[in-house]
């Protein structure tokens, strides 16, 4: 009986020792490597949401008709006469961005009264700036959301009764989108400029560009070329060639052509120049074959004494409209006799606008120093 118990006890001790020996191999001192695995579960990116507040002041403007004043029989003259004109109030349009992307707000005025001109001026002081740029609202307090404001003014033709002058449209789009958005900023090469123009929208230069090629504008989407104070220079046949059925705005800088008898801009579509300088070398700064509007710009260069040529091309209708503070080295060559030239209120240096002014609506004043002003009656 003692022998049996001894065997059982010995077996129990052996089992106890084997368990203890097994535990010793996992105390961290045996050098065993343990692989640690991780599992990745992707998160969900937030959708881009465009949300803006648009606030505007009352868009009410008053036109005061001219007054003859008081007849003085002693001098046979009217005294105290006043010219007609629009009120100088400039109500504001403010856009506040609550989006998680940067956006542009493009402002546009469509006149319902012929000859009435609407002008946007951003509060930063940029004249006639139709595009307000707003950064993303990410990382900002609601009360400090990115905000931009433009003031709006009316000038131009007179009215003879109370009426609706037109409509302002505000188009908001993500920065970089084709519709109303900015397709590129800081562009410094013709290749990048051409690609951005092809996409439509607004492209802004980041430096001077000099090339031996032309910039061809041909897109179904309206395009704005913001020169941003810089110069686009070419030695090609045209510096800018605008093809039919294209709507283009060029603003805020200089466009030059250095080659003799080559156009700065050859227009077969619809083009607007705002606060630009066009420099030609013994030729037309603007060769217009369709519809062109030039506001507050300088045209250097002539051929046979003309700075602008209106010639029938793609369209049977050739129109040219001038306004604002203008300097033209030469006159207008209406090579296409049926072209229509309209001169609106503004100051004209070295160019007599008299023959192109509607004298029923406007008064032309010759200051005798090669300058003229056109004002609404």
Burial class for 134, CB neighbours closer than 10 Å (0-12, 13-18, 19+): buried
pLDDT (0 to 100) of residue 115: 84
Nearby residues of 253 by Cβ (< 8 Å), 6 or more positions away:
205, 226, 227, 228, 229, 230, 231, 232, 276, 277
Q: Which distant-in-sequence residues (6+ apart) come within 8 Å of 16 by Cβ? A: none
Instruction: In whole angstroms, give the CA distance from residue 76 to residue 16.
Output: 136
Query: Are β-strands 223-226 and 103-111 bridged in parallel, bridged antiparallel, or unpaired?
Result: unpaired
Q: Provide the sign of the torsion angle of the four alpha carbons 170, 173, 178, 183, taken in this order.
A: positive
Lowest mean pLDDT among 16-25, 114-123, 207-216: 16-25
Give the separation between CA 319 and CA 290, rounded to whole angstroms.
6
Query: pLDDT tens, 207-247?
Result: 999 999 999 999 777 899 999 999 999 999 999 999 998 99
* Residue pair 184/211 in contact by the 8 Å Cβ criterion: no
Of the candidate ranges 25-34, 68-77, 354-363, the one whose mean pLDDT is the lowest: 25-34
341: which 2 tokens?
């030239």
Instruction: Find tokens 């402002």 and name the residue.
Output: 107
């Amino acid at each position: 009986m003692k022998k049996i118990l001894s065997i059982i006890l010995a077996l129990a001790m052996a089992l106890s020792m084997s368990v203890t020996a097994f535990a010793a191999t996992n105390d961290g001192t045996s050098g065993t490597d343990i692989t640690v695995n991780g599992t990745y579960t992707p998160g969900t990116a937030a959708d881009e949401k465009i949300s803006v507040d648009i606030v505007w002041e009352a868009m009410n403007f008053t036109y005061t008709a001219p007054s003859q004043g008081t007849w003085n029989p002693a001098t046979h003259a009217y005294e105290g006469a006043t010219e007609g004109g629009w009120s100088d109030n400039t109500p504001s349009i403010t856009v506040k961005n609550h989006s998680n992307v940067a956006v542009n707000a493009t402002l546009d005025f469509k006149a319902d009264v012929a000859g009435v001109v609407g002008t946007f001026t951003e509060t930063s002081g940029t004249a006639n700036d139709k595009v307000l740029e707003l950064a993303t609202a990410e990382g900002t307090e609601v009360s400090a959301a990115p905000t931009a404001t433009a003031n709006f003014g009316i000038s131009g033709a007179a009215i003879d009764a109370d009426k609706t002058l037109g409509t302002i449209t505000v188009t908001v789009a993500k920065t970089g989108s084709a519709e109303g958005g900015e397709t590129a900023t800081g562009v410094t090469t013709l290749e990048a400029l051409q690609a951005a123009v092809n996409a439509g929208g607004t492209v802004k230069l980041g430096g001077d560009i000099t090339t031996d090629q032309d910039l061809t504008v041909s897109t179904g989407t309206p395009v704005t070329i913001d020169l941003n104070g810089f110069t686009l220079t070419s030695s090609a046949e045209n510096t800018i060639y605008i093809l039919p059925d294209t709507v283009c705005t060029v603003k805020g800088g200089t466009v030059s052509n250095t080659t003799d008898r080559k156009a700065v801009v050859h227009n077969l579509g619809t083009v607007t120049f705002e606060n630009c300088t066009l420099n030609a070398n013994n030729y037309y700064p603007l060769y217009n074959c369709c519809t062109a509007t030039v506001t507050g710009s300088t045209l250097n260069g002539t051929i046979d004494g003309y700075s602008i040529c209106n010639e029938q091309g793609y369209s049977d209708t050739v129109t040219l409209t001038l306004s604002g503070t203008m300097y033209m080295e030469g006159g207008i060559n209406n090579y296409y006799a049926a072209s229509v030239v309209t001169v609106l209120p503004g100051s004209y240096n070295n160019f007599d606008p008299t023959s192109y002014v509607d004298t029923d609506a406007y008064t032309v004043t010759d200051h005798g120093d090669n300058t003229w002003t056109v004002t609404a009656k």
